[in-house]
């Protein structure tokens, strides 16, 4: 329960964070809200030699209207995403889902960038951002690039971020009135999802149904072909690889996916 020893560095700017990451290489890890990294360090499942604390980068905490999309700074906490009037108006799926993450303490510390960079398939916001077709902005020591979220999640806890790259912004296209829904099935109110579903118009994404957050491609294809929500939902487990674990068997997760996709599509259609 005590992490192995590490060197602590506090970055004062994104530039300094990237310079420190370049200096210390793969031995270094960024620290945002710490609500995923610190538990791993305490269990010694992660043992970075250098921690680069991003807590001083308050200029990366914002939600702004950029016309066709909403820009969200990577250090924006779940609580601020949940309570953003701009997101409630323009991207209600994201504001609502942020309010379902953990409990108030988690939402006051955890950041949207940390959630995406950590790439836990059981996390809520990565799947929500997949359904929203977001674009991620990453800054390295020498350059900045945009990564479509569909190319970001590569395998369990693995992303398209290069070593030392800092996620700085999440860009969410305005969905322009399409219906939405977020369904999260938990044992207790504050738990992680056993299965979750995010729907935005005809785009559907799944939580905890594989090694990465997934688009429910077979459901989307059925919808595009004119299937009803109930018919399309029957395809929810196709192309998935849900785990069996202490909380649910694979078969139960597949059943939940079909039920929750059906509910999500029905609610989304009612909101359109």
Ligand X SMILES: Cc1cc2nc3c(=O)[nH]c(=O)nc-3n(C[C@H](O)[C@H](O)[C@H](O)COP(=O)(O)OP(=O)(O)OC[C@H]3O[C@@H](n4cnc5c(N)ncnc54)[C@H](O)[C@@H]3O)c2cc1C
Binding site for ligand X (CB under 6 A): 29-37, 39, 74, 101-102, 106, 110-111, 113-115, 117-118, 123-125, 161, 166-167, 192
Q: At what angle do helices 250-271 and 217-224 cross, to 10 degrees?
A: 40
**Residue 212 vs 235, nearer CB to ligand X:** 212
CA pair distance 97, 233, nearest whole angstrom: 21
Closest contact distance (angstroms) between CB of 230 and ligand X is 28
Q: Which residue is nearest to ligand X (CB)?
A: 110
Choice between 137 and 257, CB closer to ligand X: 137
Cβ-contact 82, 124 below 8 angstroms: no
CB 272 within 8 A of CB 177: yes
Which of 232, 242 has the CB closer to ligand X?
242
To ligand X, the closest distance from the beta carbon of 26 in angstroms equals 12
CB of 179 to ligand X, least distance (A): 23
Shortest Å distance, C-beta 228 to ligand X: 30
Q: Is 44 helix (H, G, I), strand (E, B) or coil?
A: coil
Nearer to ligand X among residue 33 and residue 229 (C-beta) = 33
Q: What are the DSSP calls for 70-97, one per residue?
A: EEEETT-BHHHHHT-HHHHHH-HHHHHH
Q: Name the residue nearer to ligand X (CB basis): 74 or 248.
A: 74
Round to whole Å and give the CA distance between 176 and 85: 16
């Amino acid at each position: 329960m005590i992490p192995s020893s590490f060197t602590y560095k506090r970055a004062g700017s994104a530039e300094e964070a990237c310079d420190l990451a370049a200096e210390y290489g793969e031995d270094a890890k960024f620290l945002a809200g710490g609500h995923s990294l610190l538990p791993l360090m305490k269990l010694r499942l992660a043992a970075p030699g250098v921690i680069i604390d991003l807590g001083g980068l308050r200029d990366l905490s914002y939600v702004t209207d950029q016309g066709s999309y909403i820009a969200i700074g990577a250090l924006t906490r779940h609580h601020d995403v949940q309570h953003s009037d701009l997101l409630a108006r323009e991207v209600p799926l994201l504001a609502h889902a942020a309010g379902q993450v953990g409990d108030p303490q988690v939402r006051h510390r955890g950041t949207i960038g940390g959630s995406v960079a950590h790439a836990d398939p059981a996390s809520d916001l990565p799947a929500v951002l997949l359904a929203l077709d977001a674009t991620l902005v990453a800054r390295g020591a020498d350059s900045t690039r945009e990564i479509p979220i569909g190319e970001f999640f590569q395998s369990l806890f693995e992303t398209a971020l290069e070593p030392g790259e800092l996620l700085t912004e999440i860009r969410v296209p305005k969905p322009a009135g399409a219906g939405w829904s977020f369904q999260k099935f938990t044992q207790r109110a504050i738990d992680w999802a056993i299965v979750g579903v995010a729907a935005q118009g005809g785009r559907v994404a799944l939580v905890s149904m594989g090694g990465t957050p997934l688009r429910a491609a077979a459901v989307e294809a059925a919808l595009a072909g004119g299937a009803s929500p109930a018919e399309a939902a029957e395809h929810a487990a196709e192309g998935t690889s849900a785990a069996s674990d202490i909380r649910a068997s694979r078969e139960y997760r597949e059943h939940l996916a079909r039920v929750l996709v059906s509910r999500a599509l029905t609610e989304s259609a009612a909101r359109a």
